[in-house]
Amino acid sequence: MNRRYRKTIIAGNWKMNKTATEGKVLLDEIKASVGKAKWCEIVACVPAVDIPMAVKALKDSRIAVGAQNLHYEPSGAYTGEISASMLKDLGVKYVIIGHSERRQYFGETDVTVNKKVHAALEAGLHPIVCVGESLEQREMGITNDLISVQVKSAICGVPADKIRRIVFAYEPIWAIGTGKTATSEQANEVCEHIRTIIRKQFGARTARAVTIQYGGSMNAKNAHDLLAQPDVDGGLIGGASLKSADFVTIVNAANQE
């Protein structure tokens, strides 16, 4: 982390968990325990149907509401889909784009990720763009090449002045929901690589200001070491975000430097 130059962001990704009733209980617990946590931005990326509840429950708190997906078209005949402006209108601030589960199960590609990034920025949302390699790709030694393609295609056509509004999340697929975590060094290495891509394209000032999270079985035990890395500016947390005590421990682990 480097809080002098960029925001630290701890975001929970609830995935398809928690009804609105259950989610309200979790958010009330988190809200009561994080208190004034000023050292980082806290985000709850809840299921779409939980958003109105979350916005209401988190009103007057320091916790922002995030969505887990959007459609890139502004409106139209896309049954079952939700647009960026619909999310914005509800009070959503962040939106996860290109999570590996969406790439794997719902046909999300680097092209649709790019369209969604544009749609989110256009509506005034902050995209959390997920990138990451499979175990096979890591073992083949092509992690950085793959990350370069994912990052460059996600931000293709995004003007320089909007890059800082994007949050990147390095999420090795082999670490998501598996209990296997990247070592702090592996996490930092790829986060640093992402920053280098931004620096080459947009210069040092922009690269220095961009938040790059790590995600992949981050939990109450390993968060401190991962967040101590210079280029890891926070976490995107799945499983551990569903338990208030664990999530709050991770938020508190971001209070270092």
Catalytic residues: 99, 171
We find the least distance from the C-beta atom of residue 13 to ligand PEP, in angstroms, to be 4
User: Should residue 47 be labelled a site residue for ligand PEP when binding is judged by CB under 6 A?
Assistant: no
Distances (CA, A) of 85 to 67, 125, 192: 12, 9, 32
The number of beta carbons lying within 10 Å of the beta carbon of residue 192 is 15
We find the least distance from the C-beta atom of residue 215 to ligand PEP, in angstroms, to be 4
Tell me how far apart the alpha carbons of residues 243 and 49 are, in angstroms, rounded to a whole number.
20
User: Whose CA is closest to 105, among 78, 68, 76, 79?
Assistant: 68
Sole window of 30-38, 144-152, 232-240, 249-257 interacting with ligand PEP (rule: CB under 6 A): 232-240
Sole window of 116-124, 160-168, 182-190, 238-246 interacting with ligand PEP (rule: CB under 6 A): 238-246
Q: Residue 54 or 242: which CB sits closer to ligand PEP?
A: 242
> What token pair was written down for 146?
């793959």
Q: Residue 51 or 176: which CB sits closer to ligand PEP?
A: 176
Taking CB under 6 A as the criterion, the residue among 8, 13, 150, 188 binding ligand PEP is: 13
Q: For residues 223, 228, 231 and 234, what is the CA-based torsion angle, rounded to 10 degrees?
A: 40
Residue with the shortest CB distance to ligand PEP: 238
Looking at residues 183 to 222 of the shown chain, list those that interact with ligand PEP (rule: CB under 6 A).
Answer: 215-218
We find the least distance from the C-beta atom of residue 218 to ligand PEP, in angstroms, to be 6
Sole window of 19-27, 28-36, 194-202, 236-244 interacting with ligand PEP (rule: CB under 6 A): 236-244
User: Whose CA is closest to 91, among 73, 67, 70?
Assistant: 67
Tokens 């968060």 label which residue?
Answer: 223
Tell me how far apart the alpha carbons of residues 212 and 232 are, in angstroms, rounded to a whole number.
6
Region class of 235: left (phi > 0), else alpha (psi between -120 and 50), else beta: beta
Looking at residues 115 to 174 of the shown chain, list those that interact with ligand PEP (rule: CB under 6 A).
Answer: 171
Q: Residue 207 or 226: which CB sits closer to ligand PEP?
A: 226
Binding region for ligand PEP (CB under 6 A): 13, 15, 171, 176-177, 215-218, 236-240
